[in-house]
Amino acid sequence: MSPSQKTPFSQRVTAEFLGTLALVYFSAGAICAEEALRAAGRAGSGSVGPAIAYGATYAALVAALGSRTAGYFNPAVAIGRWVTRRLNTFQTLLACAAELGGATVGAYLLRWSMPEDVWRIAAGGAPDLASGVTRTPGMLIEGVVTFFVVLVLLGVGGDAASESPLAGRWAAGLAAGLMVTAGALFEGPFTGAAMNPARAFGPAIAARHLQNHGVYWVGPLAGGILAAWILDAIFRQRTGE
């Protein structure tokens, strides 16, 4: 039995809420910070800063709370684990509700933290498709990147955690954080780099910026489910919990 399965589910739901709150606050906040620098006439880092902030935050959260979560702060992971029968329906619904709730609270907390003009220009860090990128390519990009994020996260997390819970958390956090950073560097200029329906949902609700919002559900959910299924069907003995 994995460490996460030994943790009371109420604690796992709380971890999902707090982790997704922090993920949205720091990753969307980094986008607002870039807008603040631009408005002040100062050189920013472009898409590099937000990508590093997103990956570093995710790495830290997985390392700290990964053994206490049900879905690693991402509905695409939770639903992927439901499809492969690692979570039951009730647990999956609670995990997703906690993730979406945490993302929404994190987005509103960011709104109250930022100067209004900066927050509005950045649309609260809500992702959207770049000019010239239509919905189908956007869903494909989000789906492919999320597939590899979930593949790495569950592959390393399940494998290493079976040998050493502490080492497993750090390994999963580092690997997933690096994959998120790489994904954000690639897809940030095209889709805004959500890789997570909750990461898109919270800022979109707070900013009322729902353009192309379905892209950030269809793509990541398809990618996450496929990654979880492949790990379960092909590498089950290697990554079994």
Which sign does the torsion angle of CA 16, 123, 30, 180 carry? positive
At residue 139, φ and ψ (nearest 5 deg) are: -65, -35
Question: How many whole angstroms separate alpha carbon 71 and alpha carbon 78?
Answer: 4
Residue 1: pLDDT band (50, 70, 90) is very low
Tokens 């589910």 correspond to what residue?
9
Higher pLDDT, 2 or 155: 155
Length of the chain: 241
Dmax over CA atoms of the chain, in Å, equals 55
Task: Give the position of tokens 């910026």.
Answer: 209
Instruction: Tell me the pLDDT tens digit for each residue of 77-134.
Output: 999 999 999 899 999 999 999 999 999 999 999 999 999 988 899 999 999 999 999 9
CB-based contacts of 190: which residues, under 8 Å, 6+ apart? 129, 130, 133, 137, 138, 141
Give the tokens for residue 212: 């192309």
pLDDT digits (tens, 9 = 90+) for 176-230: 999 999 999 999 999 999 999 999 999 999 999 999 999 999 999 999 999 999 9
Rounded to 5 degrees, what angle do the CA atoms 174, 176, 180 make?
115
DSSP string, 98-142: HHHHHHHHHHHHHHHHS-HHHHHHTGGG---PPTT--HHHHHHHH
Encoded amino acid at 106, one letter: G
Task: Quote the CA–CA distance of 136 and 10 in Å, as a whole number.
Answer: 38
Q: In 10-21, which positions are buried (b, 16+ CB within 10 angstroms) versus exposed (e)?
A: eebbbbbbbbbb
Domain extents in the chain: 3-239
- DSSP string for 197-226: HHHHHHHHHHHT--TTTTHHHHHHHHHHHH
Q: What pTM did the predictor assign?
A: 0.90
Percent of the chain with pLDDT over 90: 67
The answer as to CATH 1.20.1080.10 being correct for domain 3-239 is yes
Residue with tokens 């879905």: 71
What is the pLDDT at residue 228? 94
Q: Report the pLDDT value the prediction gives residue 108, as an integer from 0 to 100.
A: 97
